């Protein structure tokens, strides 16, 4: 028997493995010895990293209404937009959500790029 320590998804297990001697290497599942796992060993967890600080919203910022991934950006800095024009498309839980311009104006800044993960309330673009 061999004592091993195995880590699976951050949990540590002490296991005992019995080696088989001789015989065919193509054994059936019923002939494979059982692996007995002891209770998980205590593992000191590292503290979770602090989330990246969100940029402070300013007047004219179009904020994300949900957490998701930026799939498309339909505007550029300097683009004139009217209320309801598409700005950014977010994907969350396999659903695509267009984020449209809430007012008329000109896009003065874009705060995200395609592929970025965004949080609810995070500025996506600014209209001035």
pTM value > 0.75? no
Q: Which domain holds residue 18?
A: 2-37
Instruction: Please report whether residue 49 resides in a domain.
Output: no
| 31 plus 89 within the same structural domain | no
**What pLDDT is stored for residue 11 in this prediction?**
83
Phi, psi values for residue 5, rounded to 5°:
-115, 125
CA distance 80 to 37: 64
| 75 plus 110 within the same structural domain | yes
CA distance 10 to 15: 15
Indicate the SS3 state at residue 29. helix
pLDDT tens digit string along 70-120? 999 999 999 999 999 999 999 999 999 999 999 999 999 999 999 999 999
CA distance 102 to 88: 12
pLDDT tens digit string along 52-68? 455 566 778 999 999 99
**What pLDDT is stored for residue 52 in this prediction?**
45
**What pLDDT is stored for residue 45 in this prediction?**
62
**Using an 8 Å Cβ cutoff, are 77 and 94 in contact?**
no
């Amino acid at each position: 028997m061999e004592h091993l320590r195995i880590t699976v998804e951050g949990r540590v297990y002490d296991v005992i493995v019995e080696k088989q001697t001789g015989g065919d290497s193509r054994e059936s599942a019923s002939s494979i010895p059982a692996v007995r796992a002891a209770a998980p060993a205590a593992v000191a967890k590292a503290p979770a990293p602090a989330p990246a600080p969100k940029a402070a919203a300013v007047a004219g910022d179009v904020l994300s209404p949900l957490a998701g991934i930026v799939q498309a950006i339909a505007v550029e800095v300097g683009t004139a937009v009217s209320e309801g024009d598409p700005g950014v498309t977010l994907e969350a839980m396999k659903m695509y959500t267009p984020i449209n311009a809430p007012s008329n104006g000109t896009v003065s800044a874009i705060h995200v790029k395609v592929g970025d993960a965004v949080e609810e309330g995070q500025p996506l673009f600014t209209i001035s």
